[in-house]
Amino acid sequence: MKTLLVIPVRMGSSRFYGKPMKNICGIPMVGHCYYRAKLAQGIDDVYVATCDDEIFNYVKSISGNVVMTSDQHERATDRTAEAVEHIEKERGCQYDIIIMLQGDEPMVAPPSLSEMVSGFDQPDVDIVNIISEFQSYEAFADVNNVKVVFDKNMSALYFSRETIPSPWKSRDNLPKYMQVGIIAFRREALNWFQDQEETALERIESVDMNRVLENGRKIQLVINPNATLGVDTPEELEIVEDWLAKDPVTAQYS
């Protein structure tokens, strides 16, 4: 199977403007995402998809692959889908697997990206999502973090911004897992997803993967072996910088 990884990213984050270009250990955050994706086994091509000249020019400066997309996209999946069309036309090929790595996930472990590709060895798997374990109850309770519960086969049951499973009996020994902004699709499944109308629970939770579950399709989950954190605030940027400074993977590209 031919695999493409796309990093959809823009400067205009409402919570933290310009975060993709914020330096972490001397490298812009989007650079960490790009370099880590390039280290993953089983991925044929890695591209950044953006609507901003600053990001485009930076990726070009490190000899990276980048495409310009519309500035009208509200969701990362929409930007990714547009980028795939441009890249397939440029490359003259069609990809079997599309991985979407959001540009505020610089702590991703390259082996987790490789494991996502392996997940499609199962013929009934169309979509794979990385998750990680919460490191504190405060992070678990934060509505900015999307929680997920899953069955014994690691298939997603539901995504929510509320604390699931419920801590009403006890906070101890809860399986507390967070959805990470890294999702892989079979090419057909990405097309299908783009064609579906927004669903009720997707709208209520503001979690687009609920669209998949509400339509009766399966999402396979992969646990990132390390803690991870999507960067939405300057405070989170500091936490991530401290972690990446100690991570041996960073030394492979910095």
Structure pTM? 0.91
Could you report the per-residue pLDDT of 27-81, keeping only the tens digit for each?
999 999 999 999 999 999 999 999 999 999 999 999 999 999 999 988 889 999 9
Q: How far apart are CA 29 and CA 11, in angstroms?
A: 11
Determine contact, residues 221/156, Cβ cutoff 8 Å. Answer: yes
The pLDDT value given to residue 231: 84
For residue 14, what pLDDT band results from cuts at 50, 70 and 90? low
Residues near 64 by beta carbon (within 8 Å), at least 6 away in sequence = 34, 46, 48
Determine contact, residues 37/145, Cβ cutoff 8 Å. Answer: no
Residue 229 pLDDT greater than 90, yes or no: no
Domains delineated in the chain? 3-252 (3.90.550.10)
The pLDDT value given to residue 83: 97
Residues in the chain: 254
